[in-house]
Amino acid sequence: MAPVQTAHHRILLKLSGEALMGDDAYGINHATIQRIVGEIAEVTRLGVELAVVIGGGNIFRGVAGGSVGMDRATADYMGMLATVMNALALADTMNKAGLTARVMSAIAIEQVVEPYVRPKALQYLEEGKVVVFAAGTGNPFFTTDTAAALRGAEIGADVVLKATKVDGVYTADPKKDPTATRYHRISFDEAMARNLGIMDATAFALCRDQKLPIKVFSIFKAGALRRVVLGEDEGTLVHV
């Protein structure tokens, strides 16, 4: 059978920790993570090389009450550890689903996961493995959005896919304004001028400088990830 023609060969998928919660208050919902992995498996079968950056909000939410008044850097390091927990859970679910996943951490926890080394990450991707980047950039004060932009640029991704709860970027909050319409595509400059808040400023500026497009779509919409990879009209494309 001839390979499916995809719009992107190598992608960086940015998943929030909250995407793993399902309807739970915090933590990891088993059915939700299995569904997300099913969507990822479908895309890898198309021959696409896939890396993932995952947040830690779902884990950190469970301890956030105790972090009130805590030093910001300390709280950020706790958040990094939460992303490692999510990455391990995601990789384990992938491996059980027949994928081969590797977790690489920006902070050294070598008894648990291997450290992030760019040439090794590229080798894994070329071998068809899914690489899950954990611990953000390894630095406090930088979000996992910035980690996604940074890792996406480093691995030469064609696009950063920002998976959210909303199926794209709208002219207004669609929950509050029924007349809000979805942008099919929008330039970085226009998005900044309209203050749309697609990613944090550091991540957004890095993607713009590296001419790395961002696609915003809903991970909760069945088949959306596949449609994005195939280049169909799904979500919002942010471009130079």
Tell me the binding residues for UMP. Answer: 56, 76, 137-144
Torsion, Cα of 67, 73, 76, 80 (10° steps): -130
pLDDT at 69: 75
H or E segment at 51? strand 49-54
CA 128 to the chain's CA centroid: 18
What letter represents residue 184's amino acid?
H
State the average pLDDT for the chain.
93
Q: How far apart are CA 120 and CA 90, in angstroms?
A: 20
Work out the average pLDDT over 145-155.
Answer: 98
Boundaries of every domain in the chain: 10-239
Question: Could you read off the pLDDT of 17-75 as tens digits, one per residue?
Answer: 999 998 898 899 999 999 999 999 999 999 999 999 999 989 876 665 556 678 889 88
Question: Could you read off the pLDDT of 179-234 as tens digits, one per residue?
Answer: 999 999 999 999 999 989 899 999 999 999 999 999 999 999 999 999 999 999 99
Tell me the binding residues for ATP. Answer: 14-17, 57, 61, 164, 170, 173
Residue bearing tokens 């749309």: 196
In a 3-state reduction of DSSP, which class is residue 21?
Answer: coil
Most confident option among 55-59, 77-81, 158-162? 158-162
CATH number of 10-239: 3.40.1160.10
Tell me the binding residues. Answer: 14-17, 56-57, 61, 76, 137-144, 164, 170, 173
CA 218 to the chain's CA centroid: 11
pLDDT at 63: 61
pLDDT at 62: 60
The pTM (predicted TM-score) of the whole model is 0.94
pLDDT at 60: 76
pLDDT at 1: 45
